[in-house]
Amino acid sequence: MTFDDVLEQVVTLLKRQGRVSYRALKMRFNLDDEYLDVLKEELLYVHPVRDDEGRGLVWAGNGEGTTDTSAPPPQVMPALLTQDTASVQLPSPRETARPSEAERRQLTVLFCDLVDSTVLSSQLDPEDLRAVVRAYQETCAKVIARFEGHIAQYLGDGLLVYFGYPQAHEDDAQRAVRAGLGMIDALGQLTTRLEQERGVRLAARLGIHTGLVVVGEVGGGTRQEQLALGETPNLAARLQGIAAPNTLVISAATLRLVQGYFACQDLGAQTLRGVAEPITVYQIMRESGATSRLDIAQPRGLTPLVGREQEVGVLLGDFRKRASYVRVGMLR
């Protein structure tokens, strides 16, 4: 995202929440200290925003610029593009009750972001833009719900999605990749309608990474969110940033969990901003058709045993007989 994209999303976030901590901003948008300082200076100078004793930013105005720190009223969803999207209500990141204590677990994180959202905002009236973004979010939300993912945050035109929290599955990495492919396909169908009705096209980039996180409350007062902290969400966002439009990029860590279930293209070692060492990344092309580990094993075939002693060695469970087999093998 460009600086203007980040600025616009932070302003939207402040209007919605009323306040946000600097630590949360750094984590959400993967900002370094210098970037955060420039962003902070711009917000304090241009917008009705004040600094809260160095801890974060507080929104000090409403739409008309008057002081109003109360939370905005619920918004009524406008008539959208189709009956399908109009019937879907976006899930709230705080819908499910979660434990207050932080917990450590493995998580597969999917990060999705619209391409050229600044250009899109210049093409549309704000109300039309809102309708388009809502349609995009709801289209993605329907696919994510189908694979039981959890939308942790709506970041303007970006989505931060967890697979493995609050509900964990054995195949969370596969679910995440299938959801990513499904989102690209669904957005393609949405774009066809948008092009006919509004003359605009949508494209998205998606990135997925799997790793350890600590999930717990972030924020203060009444403005708290359950977020995953650690390197994993940051790497997912970085992978999204290098993906081509309408493609899904995953890390080697995620590939190890989904290998065989999807056809993928090795993109080689990539240098990611803020990551010390280059990491190998892969673009997911399509599902392979495999539905179980047996399906994956069959194309590869079984490694043939060589020699009579090896056959005997596999069959005998007794340690002494296996040791005898090794000696026989050495004498041959």
Grade residue 193 by pLDDT with cuts at 50, 70 and 90: very high
pLDDT tens readout for residues 77-100: 333 444 444 444 555 554 444 445
pLDDT cut 90: percent of the chain above it: 40
Written out in words, the top-level CATH class of the domain with range 1-72 is mainly alpha
Q: Return mean pLDDT, the chain.
A: 79
Range(s) of the chain covered by CATH 3.30.70.1230: 91-290
Range(s) of the chain covered by CATH 1.10.10.10: 1-72
Name the amino acid, one letter, at 234.
N
- Of the two residues 178 and 118, the one the predictor is more confident about is 178
Instruction: State both tokens at 221.
Output: 């007062």
- Residues whose CB is less than 8 angstroms from the CB of residue 314 and which lie 6 or more positions away in sequence, other chains included: 305
Q: What is the pLDDT of residue 69?
A: 38
CA 8, chain centre distance (Å): 20
pLDDT tens readout for residues 204-252: 999 999 999 998 887 766 667 778 899 999 999 999 999 999 999 999 9
Q: What is the mean pLDDT of residues 140-149?
A: 96
Q: Is residue 249 within 8 Å of 283, Cβ to Cβ?
A: yes
Residue 30 has pLDDT above 80, yes or no: no
CATH number of 91-290: 3.30.70.1230
Residue 197 has pLDDT above 50, yes or no: yes
Its pTM stands at: 0.62
**Separation in Å, CA 122 to CA 69, 81, 118, 129, 134:** 29, 20, 6, 9, 17
